[in-house]
Structure 1
Amino acid sequence: VTLTDNVSDEGQLSYRIGAAGSTYYFQKQAGGLSSLVDASNNDWINFHPTPWTSAGGGYRGIPNVYANGIFHPGWTTGTSSIVSQGPLKIRVRSVTNNGLWESLWDFYPGYATNTIVKAGGTYWWLYEGTPGGSLDQNTDFMVRSDNRKTMLSVRTNDDIPTDEWVYFSDPNVNRSLFVSHHEDDSLIDEYHPMTDT
């Protein structure tokens, strides 16, 4: 796992973290991922600050946990620091300017984990991005832990069963993004395409 500091990504200084064929761009003042680039140079997030209020730009990011820019690319609501760095793991800590929110990211070869250490209220965890670099609702799909496969044109709005995971796939690039919540809950897990972008 490699780290390059102070790389500009979409208008903000970022950490660039290379990990087994993937490159993460983590905006330091935002405390969130603005880009996740695969080995074929496809950006699975594709955040852009313009247009700001658009599914094709400013809405994108990971994890986008709360309104008013908490851990959301493009915002300047906090600070981030490197807690530890080694060949197998990089840990990033982000804290909001008001001190109410804290997040830890751990980047490993092949995957990353995010832990919300301190929450200033109830929150969500969002993947707002572009599977394979662009959203194609006719071919891109998701598979949930109960083996239910749906095209990304289909809205879902229910609780994912016991093992709370889902992966988003783009068959044109033959890759997927796997997202897992390690604790079971009875909360509603929602997916919907905001537009066709």
Structure 2
Amino acid sequence: MSPVLLASLLVTVAAGDWDRFDRPVELRLDRPGPVRVVEVDAGGRTLDPAVPCQLEADGTLTFLMSGVTKAGAERRFQVLFEAPREFKPLVKVEEVADYQGQASFRIETPAATYYYHKAGAGFASLIDPDGNDWISYRPTGGSDGRYRGIPNLIHPESDFHPGGANSVSRAEAGPLKVSLHSETRDGAWSGRWDIFPYFARFTVLRAPRPYWFLYEGTPGGQLDLDRDWWASSDGSMQPITESWAGKLPAPQWAVFGDRAQVRVLFVAQHEPDEASDQFWQMEGNMTVFGFGRQYRCCEKYLRAVPAHFTIGLAETADLDRAVKFLESAVRPLSIRVEP
């Protein structure tokens, strides 16, 4: 007897202990699409007939829990196995023949524009809506150019680092998420970026030896030793001139800001560990923040595979609000699926 294919599923998403802001929801379906997602209330009445959604070939469904979902709240969504409603894409990707010396992917989102070097497998730029580049990689110099990037994972080979030449990358594009798949040419290292409307998540998929995850860049567009600051999950907030080394408490994160800016950049490590972390500014030109990095150089301490990291810009200069935004992105959701 053939299995009965249900016409819809009910997905209940619980925010948990944290406010959620335009949070993508991801789950795996065991039947083919197409699908349409509808938000409903507790009585089954339609609240939003066209929730932005994206179904991938492997059965991963991503949809957007739009707006603010308060801590402790639940929202309900019907997944209908029918043609989706069209919506304006929230992320776009295009190929660029040359960006700062290398063929690249350009990804546009409401929060930022990313430039990703294909052969380097790293971000060369993260440009905010006002045109400020929070990375500012250049193919020349040192701390004033070619040292910069995210995630700068592999040292000393400079793989998964803009400007590198030893990786191959491909993009999978959808209206809600762009995925960038990269691996070194020998196949030893592999990782994937999932870029959503308001943040990007990196997954380390293969790593044959210890690595680190770095933010080497320019808060607000240019490192300013008088205005810039940074904060971390140990509760400290200090000027950018203040160096630090130690172990950040979970959930591990750092936030970087410029007192002249109305937004901040955050980086977060999802899985807790006992590895050392560190920060210092280099020559008045760039940040050197690292999860799993020896102060100042050059032992690497991260070993987990898979491992997950998230970066993004938060549209606030207030640290407490920025932390709420990054926790919205990093803290796991509770998802219940019912027929």
With the length of structure 1 as denominator, give the TM-score of the two structures.
0.96
| Counterpart residue number, 2:131 | 41
Correspondence 1:141 to 2:235: no
Match of 1:29 among 119, 123, 143: 119
Q: 1:147: Cα distance to partner? A: 2.1
Q: Is the Cα–Cα contact under 8 Å of residues 162 and 184 in structure 1 kept in the other structure?
A: yes
Tell me, in whole angstroms, the C-alpha distance in 2 between the residues paired with 1:140 and 1:162: 24
Tell me, in whole angstroms, the C-alpha distance in 1 between the residues paired with 2:261 and 2:209: 38
- Give deviations 1:73-101, integer Å, cap 9, x for gaps: 1111110011x321110001001011110
CA 1:42–1:72: 2 relative to 1, 3 Å: same
Q: 1:173: Cα distance to partner? A: 1.7
Tell me, in whole angstroms, the C-alpha distance in 2 between the residues paired with 1:21 and 1:162: 26
Tell me, in whole angstroms, the C-alpha distance in 1 between the residues paired with 2:279 and 2:127: 22
Correspondence 1:100 to 2:185: no
Tell me, in whole angstroms, the C-alpha distance in 2 between the residues paired with 1:94 and 1:114: 11
Q: Give the number of the structure whose alpha-carbon radius of gyration is greater.
A: 2
Q: Which runs of 5+ in 1 are unaligned?
A: none
Tell me, in whole angstroms, the C-alpha distance in 2 between the residues paired with 1:8 and 1:131: 24
Letter in 2 for 1:136: D
**Secondary structure of the structure 2 residue equivalent to 1:132:** helix
Q: Which runs of 5+ in 2 are unaligned?
A: 1-90, 286-339
**Secondary structure of the structure 2 residue equivalent to 1:69:** coil
Correspondence 1:65 to 2:148: no
Q: Is the Cα–Cα contact under 8 Å of residues 6 and 13 in structure 1 kept in the other structure?
A: yes
Match of 2:239 among 151, 162, 165: 151
Match of 1:19 among 109, 112, 115: 109
Tell me, in whole angstroms, the C-alpha distance in 2 between the residues paired with 1:131 and 1:88: 27
- Give deviations 1:144-189, integer Å, cap 9, x for gaps: 1232101110101010112101111112122111110001111111
Match of 1:168 among 256, 262, 283: 256
Match of 1:190 among 278, 293, 299: 278
Q: 1:7: Cα distance to partner? A: 4.1
Q: 1:66: Cα distance to partner? A: 1.3
- Give deviations 1:101-138, integer Å, cap 9, x for gaps: 00100000011011110012100000000000000122
| Counterpart residue number, 1:77 | 166
- Give deviations 1:22-75, integer Å, cap 9, x for gaps: 100000011000001000100000000111xx1111100000011111101111
| Counterpart residue number, 1:56 | 144
Kindly tell me the number of residue pairs found equivalent between the two proteins.
Answer: 194
Q: 1:6: Cα distance to partner? A: 2.8
CA 1:63–1:158: 2 relative to 1, 3 Å: same
Tell me, in whole angstroms, the C-alpha distance in 1 between the residues paired with 2:205 and 2:94: 25
Give every structure 1 segment of 4 or more consecutive aligned residues whose post-TM-superposition deviation is greater than 3 Å. none
- RMSD (Å) for aligned C-alpha atoms: 1.0
Letter in 1 for 2:272: D
